[in-house]
Structure 1
């Protein structure tokens, strides 16, 4: 898990930098359009690629941080055994959904590869490049999700319910506050 967590954290930074660069590019393009009535051209295409790739690469770290959005209004009212079951089912469904996205993305990638597809913009980007980087991010998320599920299942079989909740459960308000306090102390 440690190596996967480091890889996921690196993917998070990679995705974040891509999205930041896209925002800067769009800002420059807007400025040039407004002031000089000229455009960079292709900025929206690159920003689209950055958003898709950045999101895919951030999914794994978000999963490990238990930061995906959940609606837990009733969740906290259930006994711990049902919460653990819901957490594991939710993890399987989330990773399964992205497994389907990955599967269909492979089909699109294969089509782009065989037909040598390029974007229809002035950049004429070979589509396999952003598609491959996007698919790698999804693959990392699926791998992290599978390892997380197996680790949680192993803890459950050992009877470590608290350990399962720590891995895949919804973050409590107390955990969020403790994390914010630690972050504030690190900034000082």
Structure 2
């Protein structure tokens, strides 16, 4: 899973840098040559929609979703495990909700033959299909992790559930950052 997370993070970063370059080129072209390539904002929307959807998966894999854990560490391990399980089941339910309603958007796009209201008039089925695919990846990962957490909870593996599904502590995040810094040097 970390390989997937790493690849998606790099891909999204490359897309954002490329988009930034295109926007800069568009801006210079408009100011100096009074010519617009058209579509920088359209491409930006597509990149952010797909990248945002994929970032849900990255945050889930890396346990980066925010939870309010002010009291979590003070609870018994059993209650912590239950709350961790509830968090992952909630994400799975949210993922299923997204999958259903994003499908309705894609279905309507096909039914109406929607195109972007831009100079390119892009058939919306293409970017929306990629966006929907990214949402399905999140849904699949969220359901898979919820099932794994459920198995751990009901088999009594409380410590393992807490170890694998709790939010990252400040010390864990600091260790990751220091390890990353060490790897770059």
Question: What is the TM-score with the length of structure 2 in the denominator?
Answer: 0.88
C-alpha distance in 1 between matches for 2:5 and 2:183: 22
C-alpha distance in 2 between matches for 1:84 and 1:24: 46
The answer on whether the counterparts of 2:77 and 2:159 sit within 8 Å (CA) in structure 1 is: no
- Do the aligned partners of residues 23 and 96 (structure 1) sit closer, same or farther apart at CA in structure 2, a change above 3 Å counting? farther
Match of 1:56 in 2: 53
Query: CA shift at 1:5, angstroms?
Result: 4.7
C-alpha distance in 1 between matches for 2:124 and 2:139: 22
Query: CA shift at 1:143, angstroms?
Result: 0.8
Root-mean-square deviation over aligned CA pairs? 2.0
* Deviation readout 1:106-158 (Å, 9 max, x if unpaired): 11111111222111111111101111101111111111111111222223334
Out of 113, 128, 131, the position equivalent to 1:131 is 128
C-alpha distance in 1 between matches for 2:143 and 2:153: 15
Is 2:24 the partner of 1:38?
no
C-alpha distance in 2 between matches for 1:34 and 1:80: 61
Match of 1:120 in 2: 117
Total equivalences in the alignment: 185
Out of 12, 15, 18, the position equivalent to 2:12 is 15
Structure 2 counterparts to residues 83-94 of structure 1, below 5 A:
83-94=80-91
The answer on whether the counterparts of 2:29 and 2:35 sit within 8 Å (CA) in structure 1 is: yes
Greater CA drift, 5-14 or 102-111: 5-14
Match of 2:183 in 1: 186
C-alpha distance in 2 between matches for 1:22 and 1:45: 10
The answer on whether the counterparts of 1:5 and 1:64 sit within 8 Å (CA) in structure 2 is: yes
Is 2:98 the partner of 1:101?
yes
Query: CA shift at 1:8, angstroms?
Result: 4.4
Match of 1:155 in 2: 152
The answer on whether the counterparts of 1:14 and 1:57 sit within 8 Å (CA) in structure 2 is: no
Structure 1 spans left out of the alignment, 5+ residues: none
Q: Which runs of 4+ in 1 moved over 4 A?
A: none
* Deviation readout 1:154-174 (Å, 9 max, x if unpaired): 233343323212322110112
C-alpha distance in 1 between matches for 2:71 and 2:30: 50
Is 2:164 the partner of 1:145?
no
